[in-house]
Structure 1
């Protein structure tokens, strides 16, 4: 693999690891954000529930017109019912553990039961009361005071007193149901939700730190691996070139890295082998010349022999043997193929 390709892959690997880890961290932080929104929604619902409990508890004691009392209570009920439904139908309950999901389903069933068994019958009976003359009879005195006043005037067994007593009993029963079936389980749900969010957040922070360390360690490891291979080949090339510069041509560069260094190694070995062959050829030529000069040979034959050896050992097509006489080159021999001169235009 080429160095440029290897370096590019290293960069892509680091970038991909970084983007992948950041995407994972972003998804986890998004989960924390949605769980925090669910927690805020649960707290708002709990506040609305406290308001509904207070209006239910004080319904009989407030000095207010019966219609106004009912409108105030109905507003509190509708507000809580809307917030409670939004909280229970929040899609991010799926991020919670299984026990929290089971608890959410139990809250939904409890609220449905309270509405069917307590609130709907109370609403029906109260609408009948509002259509009677009882609101005008009570005025702004409230239920408890009006019950006492009507009892003193009409007797405790009167129809109006009995109706007011039924209203008080219904709201007392609803108050107990809200506290036991809705308020206490909802508070436990919010507490468990807060604990789970805190646990999830701390776990996410630890995961983020571990991922950051792994990315840095992985990047450093691959960079060191790349630089180690690069420096090892560079040192090997430097040592071999130093030996060649000292005159040792009978040496090979052994690099099998699959990159440009391996190509350099092949070309270098071919070059040194060619130089070594030429040196051996020159040695053979010198030995031949030495053996020839040791014999009784004429100068012309010696010049012809030297010229032939020069052509054979250099792979040339033509050879010229010249001498220096009085500071000038003088042609003595010519051998081989000389191309004809180019004709003049």
Structure 2
């Protein structure tokens, strides 16, 4: 492949000047670059100028990693040594991420799990059936704002909704300034509204609980049966897990899409900016309180309490604000302890390495 062809292949995968500048020092050393499309037990499928390759991280990268966040994630651009004849590659480094959608990894440990990286737009998909949940939407919005990507709300299964105007009003009351699009993928209605986000080389991630219609949406947008679709459970409209892993693939119009498994229990990861973005209405009200350290309890001149009393702020939204604030504060305390332990471990490694290199007398 000549250089022009290489660049055009990479551009269809979302490559641009920003990443080219980050990669420049590696290019001088003769390395190639690829984009992660699938991860499975630390084996990675990636697309590159050499086509599709299976990649493994090098021992050096594994040794220097302090946690899961230092390993490649779906959507990442990685520095590789390609072995096209074997359809394999060694992954030496992960280029700095332009955006990343993270959540707390499942389990008791405090660890970041990167759901998708280098995303331009996040489609937050919510079904307009009995599983419609505004509080869950607030969680997704926090992490979407924190990710650095642009959130867009897609209300799916419009054909199952009897009170569409009320649902849209409910969403707009918590997703201030976020575009909201109503679709019925089953009937192919409203999908044209999503076209502006799906330009060639643009990366879109789909987030949402199980059964909200992500797989049906992908199949309609791609014009092919990319993803298996399961019926929702009888009785509560809750979906069964269809997607079991994160995967990046290309749509016919040149956009890249990352599908993710349904996340019913979405545990927050550190999200200062995201929290402010998701609750901008309450944050602005708080600035109008008489006291800077107002706890929005019984203090005089509390603008937040006044808004709840006059009905301009829903009490359930304020309660959600307090709950999520407490959750993030608790996580921050645990994360500080984890980082201190990781730093200690890192210096222990460096000390042991230095000792092993000392000449023996």
TM-score where L is the length of structure 1 = 0.25
Which structure features the higher share of helix residues?
Answer: 1
TM-score where L is the length of structure 2 = 0.24
Which structure features the higher share of strand residues?
Answer: 2
